[in-house]
A and B are shown apart, each in its own frame.
Chain A
Amino acid sequence: MSNEDNLSPHAQLSSHFFGDLLDSIIVDVASECHRIARLGLDRNLEEEEEEMRLSAQARLRVADPSNSSEANGKYIVDIFGQSHPSVASEIFECMNCSRSVMAGKFAPHLEKCMGKGRKARLKVTRSSTAAQNRNSRGSPASAYPPYSNSTSTSRLSNGSSSVAGEEYSNGVFEDP
Chain B
Amino acid sequence: MSSAAKIGHHRINGQILPQPCPHLAEFRSRNGSKPFRALQECLRVKPPGGRAAIRRDPDEVPRCASCGDAARPRLYACVACAAVSCHTPPGPSHAAAHAALMPPGHEIAVDVDRAELFCCACRDQVYDRDFDAAVVLAQTSASKLGSNSSSSSPSSPSVIRFQHPENLRKRRRVDYRPWAPDLKERTLVVNGSVPLESSELSSDLPRGLRGLNNLGNTCFMNSVLQALLHTPPLRNYFLSDRHNRYFCQERNGVSNTNRRNGANSDANGKIRNCLACDMDDIYSAVFSGERTPYSPAKFLFSWWQHAANLASYEQQDAHEFFISMLDGIHEKVDKDRRKPQNPGNGDCCIAHRVFSGILRSDVMCMACGFTSTTYDPCIDISLDLEPNQGGYAKMASTKSGHPCNGEADCLSSRQNCGTSTLTGCLDRFTRPERLGSDQKFFCQQCQVRQESLKQMSIRKLPLVSCFHIKRFEHSSVRKMSRKVDRYLQFPISLDMAPYLSSSILRSRFGNRIFPFDGVEPDASNDLSSEFELFAVVTHTGKLDAGHYVTYLRLCNQWYKCDDAWITQVNENIVRAAQGYMMFYVQKMLYYKASEKQVAG
Known contacts A60-B408, A153-B379, A156-B330; A79 and B559 CB within 8 A of each other: yes
- Flag A133-176 by CB within 8 Å of B: 1 or 0 each: 11011111111101111101101110111111000001111001
Chain B 370-395 residues near chain A, CB threshold 8 A: 372, 374, 376-382, 384
Residues of A within 8 A of B251 (CB): none
25 example contacts (A-B, Cβ-Cβ < 8 A) are as follows A23-B73, A24-B113, A26-B73, A27-B114, A38-B125, A44-B495, A51-B492, A52-B489, A58-B574, A60-B403, A61-B572, A80-B201, A88-B563, A88-B564, A107-B300, A108-B216, A134-B312, A136-B474, A138-B314, A138-B544, A139-B481, A143-B474, A144-B382, A146-B384, A162-B309
A55 proximal to B (CB < 8 A): yes
Residues of A within 8 A of B470 (CB): 141, 144
- Flag B559-597 by CB within 8 Å of A: 1 or 0 each: 110011111110111111000000000000000000000
Which 7 pairs across A and B sit closest by C-beta, in order of nearness? A107-B216, A58-B575, A142-B474, A88-B213, A40-B16, A58-B572, A139-B481
Q: Is the interface of B mostly helix, strand, loop or mixed?
A: mixed
Distance in angstroms between the alpha carbons of A161 and B140 in the assembled complex: 40
Chain A interface residue number, banded: 35 or more
Instruction: Decide: A152 and B216 in contact? CB cutoff 8 A.
Output: no
Instruction: Decide: A156 and B491 in contact? CB cutoff 8 A.
Output: no
B179 proximal to A (CB < 8 A): no
Known contacts A44-B495, A48-B491, A80-B201; A114 and B304 CB within 8 A of each other: yes
Instruction: Decide: B498 and A92 in contact? CB cutoff 8 A.
Output: no
Chain B 397-427 residues near chain A, CB threshold 8 A: 401-403, 407-408, 411, 414, 417, 419, 421, 423
Number of residues from B at the complex interface, CB < 8 A: 131
Known contacts A34-B125, A106-B216, A106-B300; A153 and B377 CB within 8 A of each other: yes
- Looking at the complex, which one of B6, B113, B454 makes contact with A40 (CB distance below 8 Å)? B6
Known contacts A51-B493, A76-B565, A96-B301; A176 and B439 CB within 8 A of each other: yes
Distance in angstroms between the alpha carbons of A121 and B358 in the assembled complex: 38
- Flag B134-153 by CB within 8 Å of A: 1 or 0 each: 00000000000000000000
Interchain Cβ contacts within 8 Å, total number: 318
Taking the closest CB of chain B, its distance from the CB of A41, in whole angstroms, is 6
- Flag A73-103 by CB within 8 Å of B: 1 or 0 each: 0101011111010001010101110000001
The interface of chain A, by Cβ under 8 A from chain B, is 20, 23-24, 26-28, 31-32, 34-44, 47-49, 51-63, 70-71, 74, 76, 78-82, 84, 88, 90, 92, 94-96, 103-108, 110-111, 114, 116-118, 121, 130, 133-134, 136-144, 146-150, 152-153, 155-157, 159-164, 170-173, 176
Distance in angstroms between the alpha carbons of A136 and B483 in the assembled complex: 13
By beta carbon, the residue of chain B nearest A42 is: B2
Residues of A within 8 A of B492 (CB): 51, 54
Residues of B within 8 A of A156 (CB): 323, 326-327, 330, 343, 379
Taking the closest CB of chain B, its distance from the CB of A143, in whole angstroms, is 7
Additional 11 contacts, C-beta under 8 A, given A88-B293, A138-B543 = A41-B506, A44-B495, A49-B414, A55-B489, A84-B564, A116-B308, A117-B312, A117-B313, A138-B546, A161-B324, A176-B439
